[in-house]
Amino acid sequence: VAALSGALGAGLISMVCNLTIGKKGYEQYQSELEKALAESEDLQKKLTELIDKDANAFNGVIAAYKMPKETDEEKALRSAAIQTAYKQAADIPFQIATTCLEVLELGQSIVDISNTNVISDVGIAAISGYAGLECGIMNVNVNLPYIKDETYVKEKNEQLNDMLSRGKVLRDLLCQKVNDIISK
């Protein structure tokens, strides 16, 4: 759901760019919009690929728990595999959250130069991107308690808190700008 939400946001930005490029009154923004269009398509592709990776990420954890644990060596191998699997299970939603933050940043770059007839879709893209960000963060957080590497956990928590704060600010700014444009 996290990656899908972000992909929908990126797709809406693509749509807004396509409906603005070549329109009268927006000629001076063509190169910026074309760049944003290419970036939004890249983000959408990346997030779409992350949907399957996210669905499969936890399979490694399940497989690691099924490893034999009869001998001390097997227990050590199993324990190491579990730790690696939990990190992988956290890393995929972290990538999703990071990419969703990029969707929000891209929305910020086009909100003032977009076709006002479809400006609400920039706001919806912000809400979708933020939903993906928050869902991704939640999916990272569910795995962190099982990871014994305290440095890894501390770094991830700091990064997640920063991303969440930045995402909230961007979402709120975008929605406010969109509402201001709509109410003119």
List, for residues 81-126, the tens digit of each pLDDT value.
999 999 999 999 999 999 999 999 999 999 999 999 999 999 999 9
Fold of 2-182: Four Helix Bundle (Hemerythrin (Met), subunit A) (1.20.120)
29-86: per-residue pLDDT in tens? 999 999 999 999 999 999 999 999 988 888 999 999 999 999 999 999 999 999 999 9
pTM of structure = 0.94
Whether residue 104 contacts residue 131, with contact meaning beta carbons closer than 8 Å, is answered with no
- CA atoms within 13 A of residue 106's CA, in its CB half-sphere: 33
Distance in angstroms (rounded) separating the CA atoms of residues 134 and 161: 10
The single-letter DSSP state of residue 71 is S
Distance in angstroms (rounded) separating the CA atoms of residues 23 and 19: 7
Q: Which of 57, 38, 37 is nearest to 49 (CA)?
A: 57
Residues in the chain: 184
The alpha carbon of residue 161 and the mean position of all alpha carbons in its chain are separated, in whole angstroms, by 14
